[in-house]
Structure 1
């Protein structure tokens, strides 16, 4: 069983380690892969809720080091104890991207969960906007699936490559979707300024620099309480996010 300081801390907090076994993979877009897992014990702790996520420990077979990365549960079949996880395949490849690009049936990873989720509807909000990039698509898709068909929602996505727009989005009749090219850390904030209005619920995840520029725009254009604004960094340009441990 994997070990290490970070794993021990999570276990002390009640996050058990769950073995996931790959059933197969599906390439959803040129650089976007879905890995299908059997997860026989995961739902003892994890939840099938909008934007729920788990921590995966990805092992480098050459060094014996495991890297922790957080991923959204893209789809779940709780009675069958199965989940799907989507991976953005990028270059240079990080440990999770490299693993997912060559994953095959029978491969195993360890997952931990504390029932993590990051979206809940704000009942007093005048509208909803979901903001992110390619890495945020799995979470945004899970939120779109949870919304009432009559609910209007704006989706603002930043693309680093033209192929990002080939990543499938959950169809929703009330969704207005806009993709914009990434042009530095301020491009997302500039586009959001045109779409925000007072009283909106804002759910935004993505690159740290982009979100740093976005925060003051949200505060100015869509002021609200803590329950109506969620801004969370998923990645840092030029740096790795996550922990590591030795097996």
Structure 2
């Protein structure tokens, strides 16, 4: 537990299409019992093959216990010839069964032909992927508040579900979730303190940002927020919550999971770098 850059391999044991655009994939792995914890929002990276459906075991660099932030590991990863180097994409562990040594991960099938969508749509039992993380070094405790806003698009639904499962009984949740259409709605867990869920459908012209901005009294009493999804929407939501809703910066947890018109392989923009610096300052 707590290693900064644990590297392992996981094998597919089951695939289920839970919505037209979401595949729920179950993995097993020898290292899962020592890597996964019973906590919400466990984020890790999956390494996806350039060709085929599996990543060859042994292809990824070995981890270095002294490489606390993983920079040397990442340099070694980039040294793998491009034709063989896996695509690396971020995911959240949706569920973990310690007894069965299995974890569940939801793949959003965007349909634009990206490597994660392609692989997730064609995944089969027996396929092998590399996994980097998760690490408890990046775990953040849930706030003990009376009311908490959870807001995100479909890429954030797995994390939102795990947060709902873990919220203290004294905390009420208000959920705003943006999806493509009504067919992409998922049954979310009930929070112990109660939860109100509002779905926003893009096919009807809805957007997460405008829905939260226009929430009015529905967000009265919210003490903290967890926001994730497309990076520019997350940035705008965070500004709204801090500048207009007057939430303290430290009470708004936020993550930009993806960038419109850009992938995780593209270099960060000036706005990305400025945003990362601001986030680091808030966390200091």
TM-score range, shorter chain: 0.7 to 0.9
How many angstroms does 1:43 deviate by? Answer: 3.4
**What residue number does 1:46 align with?**
36
Q: Give distance in 2, aligned partners of 1:30 and 1:114.
A: 28
5+ long unaligned stretches in structure 2: 53-82, 268-284
Instruction: Count the aligned residue pairs.
Output: 229
**What residue number does 2:122 align with?**
102
- Whether contact under 8 Å (2:175, 2:197) holds in the other structure is yes
How many angstroms does 1:42 deviate by? Answer: 2.7
Q: Give distance in 1, aligned partners of 2:216 and 2:39.
A: 29
- Whether contact under 8 Å (1:198, 1:223) holds in the other structure is no
**Could you report, residue by residue, the CA deviation over 1:42-67 in whole angstroms, capped at 9, with x for unpaired residues?**
33233231111111101111743411
Greater shift in the superposed pair: 138-147 or 213-222: 213-222
- Whether contact under 8 Å (1:54, 1:70) holds in the other structure is yes
| Secondary structure in 2 matching 1:93 | coil
**What residue number does 2:247 align with?**
223
Higher relative contact order (CA 8 A, sep 6+): 1
**What residue number does 1:9 align with?**
none
- State yes or no: 1:207 paired with 2:230: yes
Q: TM-score, normalised by structure 1?
A: 0.82
- Whether contact under 8 Å (2:149, 2:173) holds in the other structure is yes
How many angstroms does 1:238 deviate by? Answer: 1.8
5+ long unaligned stretches in structure 1: 1-12
- Whether contact under 8 Å (1:157, 1:178) holds in the other structure is yes
- Whether contact under 8 Å (1:188, 1:214) holds in the other structure is no
| Secondary structure in 2 matching 1:142 | helix
Of the three residues 154, 158, 166, the one matched with 2:178 is 158
**What residue number does 1:15 align with?**
5
Name the one with the larger strand percent.
1
Q: Give distance in 2, aligned partners of 1:181 and 1:132.
A: 12
How many angstroms does 1:160 deviate by? Answer: 2.9
How many angstroms does 1:186 deviate by? Answer: 4.1
Q: TM-score, normalised by structure 2?
A: 0.72
**What residue number does 2:78 align with?**
none
| Secondary structure in 2 matching 1:239 | coil
CA root-mean-square deviation: 2.5
